[in-house]
Amino acid sequence: DIQMTQSPSTLSASVGDRVTITCRASQTISTWLAWYQQRPGRAPKLLIYKASSLESGVPSRFSGSGSGTEFTLTISSLQPDDFATYYCQQYDTYSTFGGGTKVEIK
C-alpha cells in the first residue's frame, strides 16, 4: 500500500502569510496527486488535481507542485476563508489520503 505523509500536522499563520504544506509518498506516484480543503463540519473540497492543475472555481492563490514522491501545496497569501484542514491524496494505486494539515490562526 502507498502511504502518504503530510507535514506539518498543524500550522499557525496570519492573514497574508505565504503557506506551504508538504506531502510525501512512500513510493513514486508520478503526478497522480490531489489536494482537498475541509472546513469543520463540511465535506472536503477539491483544490488541485494531477499535482498542479487548479480545479475550476478555486482561487489562484492556491498552487500545487511536485512529482514522484514529493509534493507541495502553497497558498500565496492566506485569507480568512483558508483556515481549514488540508489533505493530500494519491490516486496512482486506488486511493490513500495523507493525515491532514490544520491551518490555524496565529
Partner 1 sequence: QVQLVESGGGVVQSGGSLRLSCAASGFTFSTYGMHWVRQAPGKGLEWVAFIRYDGSNKYYGDSVKGRFTISRDNSKNTLYLQMNSLRAEDTAVYYCAKDRSGGQYYFDYWGQGTLVTVSS
Q: Minimum CB separation from partner 1 for residue 77, in Å? A: 25
Distance of CA 67 to the CA centre of its chain: 14
- Candidate list 5, 17, 24, 45; residue touching partner 1; CB under 8 A: 45
- Candidate list 16, 43, 60, 80; residue touching partner 1; CB under 8 A: 43
Q: Minimum CB separation from partner 1 for residue 5, in Å? A: 12
Kindly give the pairing relationship between strand 70-75 and strand 19-25. Answer: antiparallel
Rounded distance between C-alpha atoms, residue 100 and residue 78, angstroms:
18
- Candidate list 1, 14, 80, 81; residue touching partner 1; CB under 8 A: 1
* Residue 83 binds partner 1, judged by CB under 8 A: no
Distance of CA 27 to the CA centre of its chain: 18
